[in-house]
Amino acid sequence: MGIKNQKGTVSVENYRGRIRLRWRYQAKRYSLSLTAYSKQNLFQARILALEIEQDILTNMFDFTLIKYGGKDANSNKKSKSIVAYFEDWVSFYKQMDCEKHTNYNSTRNMLRKWGKITQENIVKKFNAETFCSKTYNRRLTILKNFINWLIEQNVWAFNPLLSVNNKKNKIIKNPDRTPFTEKEIHKILTAFKLNTACSSHSNFKHSHYYPFIYFIFKTGCRPSETVGLRASSIDFKNEVIIIKEVLARTIKHTSSLHRVRKETKNGKIRSLPLTHDLVDVLKPLIDNKLADDLVFLSPKGKAIDDKNFQARIFRQVLNKLEIPPRVLYACRHTFGSRCIDGGLSPVMTAFLMGNSPEVALKNYTHQIQLPKNLPEI
């Protein structure tokens, strides 16, 4: 690889078996695809790279690239496909591997499916797709940026997608966060403990996750707090559980391998009582672990991916038990509702859950039964 300098240095590299030159000049990226990669051709490519660098230094650079044998520059623009341009844009301009970035890979596959793409038909082709709002908006943004780049390269004259607006996400209330009943809680915990909803073809048993789901039901902790709970946070001597951090998802990555440790949602540390039943559940998990080790692990010994758990296991269990579908977060809401039902004040409920009293009042006081009489005066 070449090293950038003020005027731009040309790098010579092997790209899919062909020699490719890449460089920057006057805030633009350039690339030139040459012959098959070999020692002899590599020697000629390095001479050409030096020629381009010399032209840049002496202000003799040929922006059409024709001088350097660049057929892609102008003469081949009409014959080059939009998919090929898209791959160049992702590789050279975005500096990414299209194969390793799902959004760009999916968009490229969509362009391939469309066949011939022009400025006149791209809006019609795009609107014919049946995407959810999130996917629609994501791909629209990618294509708008890509077409802006095509305009800079003098391939297209205008951006037809500028007239296309993002779709509004449907605002759906959270029926899937409805608290579970006492009967449903018992059925869910029993199913996890005894593997009654587990497929016979499964590589692992649901009982592996029994401590994880029991802990959320029992403490009302957020899934991210539970996933990130360390052994050092369980204080058997003082009989408390310290909730002080979460293992949060990053913006670019969603898997359990790409998490970052952050403070809790409200930035506060809270303590929960370590009850005898929690001791029975947690102690076997913590024995022989180091202080920084995670309490709850996947069957493969990694951090639990709560979204994956919710989609592949939790929903499967609810479906098998014929319980209306809920998200994992409903277990936390169940805890809040049970606290109010059990007579705890909204303030104490908020403290245990790491919420503000206002949030507790908003989410859980609908559980409070109005008295038949008011205090006598």
Task: Report the predicted TM-score, pTM, of the whole model to 2 decimal places.
Answer: 0.54
DSSP letter string, 215-270: HHHHH---HHHHHT-BGGGEETTTTEEEE-EEEEEPSS--STTSEEEEE-TTS--E
Other C-beta atoms closer than 10 Å to the C-beta of 291 total: 9
Residues of the chain with pLDDT under 50: 1-7, 72-75, 251-254, 256
Angle in degrees, 0-180, between the axes of helices 210-219 and 182-194, rounded to the nearest 10: 160
Give residue-wise pLDDT tens across range 43-101. Answer: 888 989 998 988 888 888 877 777 787 654 444 555 688 998 998 888 877 777 767 67
What is the predicted pLDDT for the residue at 367? 54
Task: Report which of 318, 342, 343, 320 is spatially closest to residue 330, judged by C-alpha positions.
Answer: 318
> How far is 338 from 364, CA to CA, in rounded Å?
9
What is the predicted pLDDT for the residue at 236? 94
Q: Which two tokens stand for residue 95?
A: 């500096």
Q: Which two tokens stand for residue 234?
A: 């369980």
What is the predicted pLDDT for the residue at 174? 52
Q: Is residue 188 within 8 Å of residue 180, measured between CB atoms?
A: yes
Q: What is the residue whose two structure tokens read 């401590």?
A: 211
Angle in degrees, 0-180, between the axes of helices 102-114 and 133-152, rounded to the nearest 10: 80
What is the predicted pLDDT for the residue at 267? 80
Give residue-wise pLDDT tens across range 153-163. Answer: 778 889 999 99
> How far is 147 from 149, CA to CA, in rounded Å?
5
Beta bridge partners of 2: none
What is the predicted pLDDT for the residue at 361? 67
What is the predicted pLDDT for the residue at 186? 97
Helices (H) and strands (E) in the chain, counts: 14, 8
| Domains defined along the chain, listed by start | 11-68 (no CATH), 82-163 (1.10.150), 175-366 (1.10.443.10)
